[in-house]
Structure 1
Amino acid sequence: MAGEPAVDAGSAVEPGGREVMLRDVRSYRLARVQEQLLKHKVPAILLYDPVNIRYATDTSNMQVWAGRNPARYVMVFADGRIVAWEFHSSEHVWDGLNLDVELRGAISWTFFNAGHEAERRAETWGAEIVDVFRQHAPGDRVLAVDRLDPFGAAYLEKHGITLLDGQALMETARLIKSSGELVLIGESLRTAEKGIERMRRELRAGLTENDIWAHLHFENIRHGGEWIETRLLASGDRTNPWMHECSSRVLQDGDLLAFDTDMVGPNGYCSDISRTWLVGDGRPSDEQRKLYEYAYAQVHFNMDLLRPGMTFREFSEKAWKIPEPFVKNRYCCLAHGIGMVDEYPSIAHSVDWDSAGYDGRFEVGMTVCVESYIGADGGNEGVKLEQQVVLTEHGCVPLTTCSFETDWL
């Protein structure tokens, strides 16, 4: 249950054993994609999202840039064959991978790359996609796609290809983590913990929010991490409402400082931890302690509640009841999936269920972030907490040992 020690993910792996583990993780993830294709009777999926490409193939090439500039893409077939269109002179990113892959050169038809020739170049791209699809899946007409700009979608549909929502297939494939994935997630979390420890060690009045935030980036890059998805660190009155981005505000003694790591670390897995601290050596005020007590109670009540077999709606209905003064500024969800980035599902509060909720069922092997933000409408400060967990047969188990301010309770 929630009181159990953190799962020992990310512990040291012998070099030879690590290669075996990575091979097993890659095989597992590709098999999960194939399983979804076969289940939905779809012969292939065309991937542009860099995270989906990483999941299916374990290749990485300028992930953030490629997320904005669709310049590499991969078609995965239900039988495991892969055709990959790689960015200019980057075929080396596939070295050392045991994949049944045919490498080709990518055609980019964004306005940045093609200017006013974008539509014509998209037709050249489309003709090749259709040819490859029909060559490997003769007679089939349904192709799953995770994301595609208008010219490309129009060309494929014009030439008899029916497009299916591939993002739903990939999110479902990524849902259940293997034991090897938990090791890789643990390695990312240990890096995040080093960054958090460094932030805490350097925390003092007179520094800026940006000064403190830089320490998380430092440790992430130093240990082979990749990027941080947001800039969610705030202090003082900028902690209410939540979602103020990190700034040049100077920290003052007695401020609350809250952050959300959103860190894509080593191995491409996300570490998503939120904590709230006090600046300086003093004691928090009664109001600060009350805010923290509520946030801590919400996270841990919901961790104790969460278990495999429970539906999303049941969890939402039974979740910790937010006191009325804090309802308006509630966090955007009660909990969400986590893997390489934030993933399906996102669990809506009961008050939001009709507008934002959808049902499903928690399963063993899901990794989840349990969320809380407590800050009164019109209040001076707020507290943000978040714990990353894995669902086991016994319930919800923390994946991080990053401490809470239990002496405030």
Structure 2
Amino acid sequence: MKGAFKDDRKATYLNAEGADRPLISPIADEVLTRARLYRLGRLRQQLMARDIGALLLYDPVNIRYAFDCSNMQVWTSHNPMRYALIFATGPAIMFEFKSCEHLNDGLPGIDEVRTAIPYMFMARGDKAQLFIEDWAAEIADLVQEHGGGNRRIAADKLDKPAIEGLESRGLRVEDGTEIAELARSIKSADELELMRWTIRVCEAGMARIYEHSHPGATERELWAHLHFENARSGGDWLETKLLTAGPNTNPWYKECGDRVVQMGEMISFDTDMIGPYGYCADLSRSWTCGYTPMTDLQKRLYATALEQINHNIELLQPGMEFAEFNAKSWQIPAQHVNYRYSLAAHGVGMADEWPVIPLHVDFDHRAMGGRFEPGMVICIESLIGEAGSESIKLETQVLVTETGHERLDSFPWEDV
């Protein structure tokens, strides 16, 4: 392994065979098969509970959840070229980008693969309406054949002309985002095994960042180490570019740039990593460049952030209402309020998910209702800064169990 770790606890997160090899998943095929079928079943349960005949999905994360087909996910997040149609009591059909149909071979939840009919302007220009008509006619015919007389269809993302095309053929189009979010919120034991592996890969990437946290590196160079570990170990992408150092950490949300990191500066980051099997590892850590001892100010800010994390983790219990969590949550001191993070906790699965619980100063009558349930995975967040300081960003991923909670990540906090 190149370089030398100041903290041997972090060195253990690199591949046991050394830093020169990717991590190879030990997960058995049957675990993945069970997870796939569980997820598809969750979507159908939501449909049947609402008496909706079919679910039309365009969001590539929702398609991945339903079928585990991952073709061009980033590109199709802004180019609606492929979609899925899932019937509550009928077949599950994948409409794949032309010439990519074979990429769905062997996936257990897909009953039929068809070639998609893209209708977006980029692909069809001034003839887009003609393709909308063909697309809507095919969907309507399938609902007629497999919907059992139920003309209600839910969709997660549709353009207005597409909705009008379906409605003109007698379909009632409803929102499918809530269906997908609620289905995704409860993880099976097999899903959790997949998520734990993504976290393992992420923590290896974090260790790689730590290994290279020396003066002279740029923020972009440090961030690239997480990309590298994720890509070579079977992961997908990073949702953000949140790694900054020193004065760039406050205010938060600056993206990493070409600034050279200086000795003793705080390096703070948020992984937002979509890793192997499509699961998200959303973890945040902060430490000093060059492994220098923290200054008194850095120690105080870090200890405050860690206090928030530990307090709010201990609150997580099955059955607790979000409003009760808010009422009992850690209260941010006045000097940090203007530099706060906007939320205290959020769900996570194949991406950041429902629910989102605002920090107590932002929690009002518009905050969402609900309760924690066993099988939810919740990210507990902290961002602590003050006037003229750096920011400390910490985040951990926690499973709500039948009896309480369990942290899923274990990458060490700093000693303060």
TM-score by structure 2 length? 0.92
Unaligned runs of 5+ in 2: 1-22
- 1:9 corresponds to which residue? none
Which of 377, 381, 385 is the matching residue for 2:390? 381
- Secondary structure, in 3 states, of the residue corresponding to 1:176? coil
Which of 88, 91, 114 is the matching residue for 2:98? 88
- 1:249 corresponds to which residue? 259
Distance 1:401 1:359 in 2: 30
- Cα distance, 1:160 vs. partner? 2.1
- Percentage identity across paired residues of the two chains: 47
Quick check: 1:391 aligned with 2:395?
A: no
- After superposition, the C-alpha distances for 1:302-335 in whole angstroms (9 at most, x for unaligned) are 0011111100111011100000111122112100
- Contact persistence 1:30–1:80 (CA under 8 A): no
- 1:175 corresponds to which residue? 185
Which of 214, 217, 221 is the matching residue for 2:227? 217
- Secondary structure, in 3 states, of the residue corresponding to 2:140? helix
Which of 151, 166, 185 is the matching residue for 1:141? 151
- 1:404 corresponds to which residue? 413
Question: How do residues 194-205 of structure 1 correspond to structure 2 at under 5 angstroms?
Answer: 194-205=204-215
- Cα distance, 1:250 vs. partner? 0.5
- Cα distance, 1:208 vs. partner? 0.3
- 1:28 corresponds to which residue? 38
- 1:276 corresponds to which residue? 286
Change (3 A) 1:356 1:238: farther
Distance 1:23 1:354 in 2: 42
Quick check: 1:156 aligned with 2:157?
A: no
Distance 2:378 2:139 in 1: 36
Which of 242, 246, 250 is the matching residue for 1:240? 250
Question: How do residues 40-119 of structure 1 correspond to structure 2 at under 5 angstroms?
Answer: 40-79=50-89, 81-119=91-129
- After superposition, the C-alpha distances for 1:216-268 in whole angstroms (9 at most, x for unaligned) are 00000010100000000011111111111111011011111100000000000
- Cα distance, 1:167 vs. partner? 0.7
- Contact persistence 2:40–2:109 (CA under 8 A): no
- 2:9 corresponds to which residue? none
- After superposition, the C-alpha distances for 1:370-402 in whole angstroms (9 at most, x for unaligned) are 0000112x3331100000110112322110110
- Secondary structure, in 3 states, of the residue corresponding to 1:354? coil
Distance 1:279 1:135 in 2: 62
- 1:7 corresponds to which residue? none
- Secondary structure, in 3 states, of the residue corresponding to 2:383? strand
Change (3 A) 1:375 1:52: same
- Cα distance, 1:13 vs. partner? 11
- 2:200 corresponds to which residue? 190
Question: How do residues 272-311 of structure 1 correspond to structure 2 at under 5 angstroms?
Answer: 272-311=282-321
Distance 1:14 1:229 in 2: 22
- Give the partner amino acid of 2:167: E
Unaligned runs of 5+ in 1: 1-11
- Secondary structure, in 3 states, of the residue corresponding to 1:334? strand
Distance 1:276 1:312 in 2: 28
- Contact persistence 2:67–2:110 (CA under 8 A): no
Which of 259, 270, 279 is the matching residue for 1:260? 270
- Cα distance, 1:353 vs. partner? 2.1
- Secondary structure, in 3 states, of the residue corresponding to 1:280? helix
Aligned pair count reads 394
Distance 2:108 2:304 in 1: 50
- After superposition, the C-alpha distances for 1:164-192 in whole angstroms (9 at most, x for unaligned) are 11010010001111111111001101100
Distance 1:200 1:24 in 2: 36
- 2:352 corresponds to which residue? 342
- Give the partner amino acid of 2:298: Q
Distance 1:180 1:54 in 2: 16
Distance 1:282 1:137 in 2: 64
Distance 1:375 1:156 in 2: 50
- Secondary structure, in 3 states, of the residue corresponding to 1:370? strand
- Cα distance, 1:100 vs. partner? 5.0
Q: Superposition RMSD on alpha carbons, in Å? A: 1.6
- Secondary structure, in 3 states, of the residue corresponding to 2:368? coil
- 2:12 corresponds to which residue? none
- Secondary structure, in 3 states, of the residue corresponding to 2:56? strand
Distance 2:90 2:343 in 1: 36
Change (3 A) 1:100 1:249: closer
- Contact persistence 1:260–1:272 (CA under 8 A): yes
Distance 2:298 2:108 in 1: 54
- Cα distance, 1:14 vs. partner? 10
Distance 2:325 2:209 in 1: 34
Distance 1:100 1:270 in 2: 24
Distance 1:333 1:259 in 2: 16
- Give the partner amino acid of 1:300: N
Kindly report structure 1 stretches of 4+ aligned residues shifted beyond 4 Å: 12-15
Which of 323, 327, 334 is the matching residue for 1:317? 327
Distance 1:111 1:167 in 2: 24
Distance 2:59 2:291 in 1: 45
- 1:4 corresponds to which residue? none
- Contact persistence 2:379–2:397 (CA under 8 A): yes
- Cα distance, 1:355 vs. partner? 6.2
